């Protein structure tokens, strides 16, 4: 690691410390001699003004991190200024430009425990995507943004968009589903509202970051056409909604070139075709070169300065890297700071609004829980009929599990399944929040006897279930960055536990706490299944409200649940070679990553057929389809009309049951016959509709034309195929009772 030496380094550090501690940047806002401090000017104008004032050293200081707290391998002298977060980038104190103080924050601010703070854990990103609710996504982002600021951070590392091509990916819980329209819309809405709290927003991991196995060197092989119509489309939708200050490039290679030095994805697509004005930041340790990375469009190296520090200055001064590239990198970082508002309104440390976080987390989780099976309307629990309940397994007596890695939020008081006061969490450790479903259900059903069995002894668990009116088995599947699941099966003896309990009591409900799909060999032997995901700081209360019927479940699956791993495009994740070839060759090569064959490649031959599209095109029946979710009431669809000129569909939804509820009505389209992509339908829009019993509502849903177009790789453009587009409307991708035709001429 490099410790750089600048003239008067000690003086420079003292000035920097003074700026941070005394709030110099706020005082500078009143300086009339600094026209870039005028908030009425555009971020572009303000960034350009500042850029003209910068020295080369000041420009370069914006282009790299200065280490990472709590990491022995990534520590530098300025790391102490990182506020205990993921990274620190110097500002320009003399011009009133604050530093970037960065934190991981996928579903809540990370490392709060080790830093002596509190953070709300929202439900996992995949869980929140199950709400299909952009307002809920906005509330999600707002809480995280406000808590970042209260803890002194001004940049977030969240916003995972990568489509779920590989559901065994250890980071599936950080992403927002398998469909580009749903994932892009939900993630874009989260980040738009997070950045609105005056923190620099981030969309990641760009692009094709589909597995953790060999993530530092795996080569994702996919055609440009297929990538544009799937993964890149999801990112484009998210970026168009959020207008984030930053996009984080991923560790992996894409068609040979590392994502953080990939000219096609960074320069051609992101910055040229999409017109992205913010900066591209590397994933931590994801920079592999200097000349190639800079030319391709990487603007900022993290968390150190291996390539973008003294080496880059030397390359500029010797003419190997043009100054125009440095100016473009620095301009983009400045633009992001002005765009997000951190220059005009730097964060001020304060007290996190814990009650507000709890309330938001509970509301999001209540919308995100998916009811997958409910034979004989066993749910909601009727206390007049159910007098004794057995709660079994999953540490449900003390808490609910969360996702690990850089997304991990520290629970207050430490891991709920460990002795009190354990403190900060570890990188790859199974962490339970102190959100006990057992306690929450006892509170919600005070006149019902509720007993607990840990499920470690199958005979004991079965005996308790047999003597109860209702058995609820809690099963979990833990995921974390840095690892992939060996399969989608529940780990340990949980499948055997469920089968034993179901054999003892036919009135058995399974509650799943997972970050991805789960296979269910016992599905025909249980009466009900509830997917709770990683439920966040108020998951116990939300789940109890759903089980007791206080809340009618409305969540719909954002990913397909297969019957077996064998039904996936890749029955198993191919193992990497033993040797890690992740480092690039000498940077003197204009294309250092193309000097030899890739060490480890995964070919995405399914192309744009991701998730439910694959299952339909391959005529495979899933366990539960994309968009599926039951309710405690019934909905009926009628009266579809299609307006081909306005590109809208109009239809009526009726609540035919006895409970108020919210239906997510989904609109799908299939390309005209003869089109290459006509073998599957794709999500084209949706609408959340809240209805009282017996109420009908007629709604109009615009069709998102972006998902109807096909990409012409030879001419680098999008086209509408003329013809009749079949339209489908219903409650899931597999249940679309209304059909119509959209004519494109």
One-character DSSP codes across 551-596: S------SS-B-SSGGGSSSSSPPPPPSS---S---TTSSSGGGSS
Q: What pLDDT does residue 422 have?
A: 60
Q: Is the pLDDT of residue 497 over 80?
A: yes
Contact, 336 vs 342, CB < 8 A?
Answer: no
Place of tokens 């030496």: 5
Average pLDDT, the chain: 93
| Mean predicted confidence (pLDDT) in 566-577 | 94
- CA torsion 413→419→422→428, rounded to 10°? -100
199 and 145 Cβ atoms separated by less than 8 Å? yes
**Per-residue model confidence (pLDDT) at position 19:** 43
Q: How far is Cα of residue 690 from the mean position of the Cα atoms in its chain?
A: 26
Q: 550 falls in which pLDDT band (50, 70, 90)? A: very high
- Residue 426 is predicted with a pLDDT of 76
What pLDDT band is residue 78 in, cutting at 50, 70 and 90?
A: confident
What pLDDT is attached to residue 420? 74
Q: Which residue has 């070839």 as its token pair?
A: 581
When comparing pLDDT for 485 and 592, which is higher? 485
Q: Is the pLDDT of residue 12 over 70?
A: no
Residue 115 is predicted with a pLDDT of 87
Other Cβ atoms within 10 Å of 249 Cβ, number: 30
Handedness of CA 192, 194, 196, 201 (dihedral sign): negative
Residue pair 109/122 in contact (Cβ under 8 Å)? The answer is no
pLDDT at 596 over 90: no
Distance between CA atoms of 61 and 344, rounded to whole angstroms?
20
Partners of 75 in the β-ladder: 67
Largest CA distance in the chain: 82
* In the predicted structure, residue 317 carries a pLDDT above the cut 60: yes
Q: 523: exposed, middle or buried (C-beta count within 10 Å: 0-12, 13-18, 19+)? A: middle
- Banded model confidence at residue 423, pLDDT cuts 50, 70, 90: low
pLDDT classification of 242: cutoffs 50, 70, 90: very high
Which residue has 């469009």 as its token pair? 297
Q: Are 281 and 270 in contact (CB under 8 A)?
A: no
| Contact residues for 59 (Cβ-Cβ < 8 A; gap 6+) | 51, 326, 327, 329, 330
What values do phi and psi take at 385, rounded to 5? Answer: -105, -30
| Structure confidence by residue, pLDDT tens digits, 433-486 | 999 999 999 999 999 999 999 999 999 999 999 999 999 999 999 999 999 999
Strand partners, 724: 743
Residue 587 clears pLDDT 60, i.e. is over it: no
pLDDT band at 9 (very low <50, low <70, confident <90, very high): very low
Average pLDDT over residues 54-73: 94
Name the pLDDT band for 28 (thresholds 50, 70, 90): very low
Q: How large is the average pLDDT for residues 15-33?
A: 47
Ranges for all domains in the chain classified under CATH 2.60.40.10: 633-744
Which helix or strand (DSSP H or E) is residue 433 part of?
strand 432-433
DSSP 523: G
Whole-angstrom Cα distance, residue 172 to residue 517?
9
Q: Is 610 helix (H, G, I), strand (E, B) or coil?
A: coil
Say what the pLDDT of residue 718 is.
97
Using CA atoms, how far apart are residues 587 and 287, in angstroms rounded to an integer? 12
Q: Is the preceding peptide bond at 596 cis, omega within 30 degrees of 0?
A: no
Give the list of residues 6+ apart from residue 135 with CB closer than 8 angstroms, or none. none
pLDDT at 424: 59
- In the chain, CATH 3.20.20.300 covers 9-107+138-144+191-340
- Beta strands 528-531; 449-453: pairing state: unpaired
For the domain with range 633-744, which CATH number is right: 2.60.40.10, 3.30.1330.10, 3.40.50.2300, 3.90.1150.10? 2.60.40.10
Q: Is the pLDDT of residue 692 over 50?
A: yes
What pLDDT, on a 0 to 100 scale, did the predictor assign at position 607? 97
Better-predicted residue by pLDDT, 2 or 726: 726
Asked if residues 164 and 208 have their Cβ atoms less than 8 Å apart, the reply is no
**Model pLDDT, residue 578:** 73
Sign of the CA dihedral running 449, 452, 455, 457: negative
pLDDT tens digits along 226-238: 999 999 999 999 9
| pLDDT at site 24 | 43
Note the Cα 414 to chain centre separation in Å.
24
Alpha carbon of residue 658 to chain centroid:
36
pLDDT of the residue at 20:
44
pTM over 0.85: yes
User: For residue 664, which phi and psi values (nearest 5 degrees)?
Assistant: -100, 105
Higher pLDDT, 498 or 114: 498
In the predicted structure, residue 29 carries a pLDDT above the cut 80: no
Looking at domain 9-107+138-144+191-340, its CATH superfamily turns out to be: Glycoside hydrolase, family 3, N-terminal domain (3.20.20.300)
- Strand boundaries in 644-702, DSSP class E: 648-655, 661-670, 681-691, 696-702
- Mean pLDDT for 559-587 is 77
- Around Cβ 22, how many Cβ atoms within 10 Å? 11
The stretch 577-602 carries a mean pLDDT of 48
| CA torsion, ordered 353, 354, 356, 357, to nearest 10 deg | 120
Task: Give mean pLDDT, residues 147-173.
Answer: 98
Given a contact cutoff of 8 angstroms between Cβ atoms, the answer to whether 245 and 280 are in contact is no
Residue 27: pLDDT above 70?
A: no
Q: How many other C-beta atoms lie within 10 A of the C-beta of residue 447?
A: 7
Give how far the C-alpha of residue 199 lies from the chain's centroid of Cα atoms, to the nearest Å.
17
Structure tokens that stand for 171 in this block: 């980071």
């Amino acid at each position: 690691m490099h410790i750089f030496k600048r003239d008067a380094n000690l003086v420079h550090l003292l000035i920097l410390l003074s700026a941070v501690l005394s709030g110099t940047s706020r005082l500078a806002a009143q300086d009339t001699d600094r026209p870039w401090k005028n908030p009425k000017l555009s971020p572009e104008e303000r960034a350009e003004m500042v850029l003209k004032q910068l020295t080369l050293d000041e420009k370069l200081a914006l282009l790299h991190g200065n280490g990472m707290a709590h990491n022995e391998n990534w520590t530098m002298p300025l790391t102490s200024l990182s506020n205990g977060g993921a990274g620190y980038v110097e500002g320009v104190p003399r011009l009133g430009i604050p530093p970037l103080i960065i934190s991981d924050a996928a579903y809540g601010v990370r490392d709060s425990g080790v830093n002596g703070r509190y953070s709300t854990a929202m439900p996992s990103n995949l869980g929140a995507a199950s709400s299909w609710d952009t307002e809920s996504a906005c509330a999600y982002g707002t809480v995280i943004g406000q808590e970042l600021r209260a803890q002194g951070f001004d940049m977030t590392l969240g916003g995972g968009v990568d489509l779920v091509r590989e559901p065994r990916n250890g980071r599936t819980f950080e992403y927002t589903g398998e469909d580009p329209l749903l994932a892009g819309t939900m993630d874009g809405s989260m980040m738009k509202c997070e950045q609105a709290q005056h923190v620099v927003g981030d969309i990641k991991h760009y692009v094709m970051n589909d597995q953790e196995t060999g993530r530092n060197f795996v080569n994702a092989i996919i055609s440009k056409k297929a990538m544009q119509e799937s993964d890149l489309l999801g990112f484009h939708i998210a970026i168009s909604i959020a207008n984030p200050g930053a996009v984080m490039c991923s560790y992996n290679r894409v068609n040979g070139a590392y994502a953080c030095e990939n000219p096609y994805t960074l320069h051609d697509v992101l910055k040229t075709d999409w017109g992205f004005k913010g900066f591209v930041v590397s994933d931590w340790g994801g920079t592999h070169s200097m000349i190639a990375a800079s030319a391709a469009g990487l603007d900022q190296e993290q968390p150190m300065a291996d390539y973008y520090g003294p080496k880059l200055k030397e390359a500029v001064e010797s003419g190997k890297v043009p100054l125009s590239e440095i100016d473009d990198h620095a301009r983009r970082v400045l633009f992001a700071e002005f765009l997000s508002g951190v220059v005009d309104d730097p964060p001020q440390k304060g007290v996190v609004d814990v009650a507000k976080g709890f309330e938001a987390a509970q509301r999001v989780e209540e919308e995100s829980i998916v009811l997958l099976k409910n034979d004989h309307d066993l749910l909601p629990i009727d206390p007049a009929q159910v007098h004794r309940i057995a709660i079994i397994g999953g540490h449900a007596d003390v808490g609910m599990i969360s996702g690990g890695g850089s997304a991990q939020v520290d629970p207050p008081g430490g891991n709920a399944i460990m002795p009190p006061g354990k403190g900060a969490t570890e990188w790859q450790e199974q962490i339970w929040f102190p959100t006990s479903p057992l306690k929450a259900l006892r509170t919600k059903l005070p006149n019902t006897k509720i007993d607990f069995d840990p499920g470690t002894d199958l005979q004991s668990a079965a005996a308790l279930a047999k003597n109860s009116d209702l058995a609820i088995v809690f099963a979990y599947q833990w995921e974390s960055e840095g690892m992939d699941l060996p399969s989608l099966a529940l780990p340990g003896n949980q499948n055997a536990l469920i089968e034993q309990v179901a054999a003892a009591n036919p009135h058995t409900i399974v509650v799943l706490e997972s970050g991805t799909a789960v296979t269910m060999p016992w599905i025909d032997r249980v009466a009900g299944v509830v997917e709770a995901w990683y439920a966040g700081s108020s998951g116990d209360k939300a789940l109890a409200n759903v089980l007791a019927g206080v809340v009618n479940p409305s969540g719909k699956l954002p990913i397909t649940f297969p019957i077996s791993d064998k039904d996936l495009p890749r029955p198993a994740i191919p193992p990497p070679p033993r040797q890690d070839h992740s480092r690039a060759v000498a940077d003197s090569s204009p294309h250092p990553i193309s000097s030899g064959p890739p060490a480890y490649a995964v070919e995405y031959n399914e192309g744009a057929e991701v998730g439910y599209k694959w299952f339909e095109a391959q005529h495979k029946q899933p366990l539960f389809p994309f968009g599926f979710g039951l309710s405690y009431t019934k909905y009926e669809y009628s009266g579809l009309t299609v307006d081909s000129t306005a590109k809208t569909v109009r239809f009526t939804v009726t609540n035919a049951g006895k409970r108020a509820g919210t239906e997510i009505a989904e609109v799908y389209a299939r390309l005209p016959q003869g089109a290459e992509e006509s073998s599957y339908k794709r999500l084209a829009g949706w609408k959340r509709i809240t209805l009282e019993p017996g109420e009908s509502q007629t709604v109009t849903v615009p069709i998102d034309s972006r998902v109807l177009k096909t990409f012409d790789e030879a001419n680098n453009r999008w086209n509408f195929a003329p013809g009749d587009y079949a339209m489908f409307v219903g409650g899931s991708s597999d249940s679309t009772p209304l059909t119509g035709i959209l004519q494109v001429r």
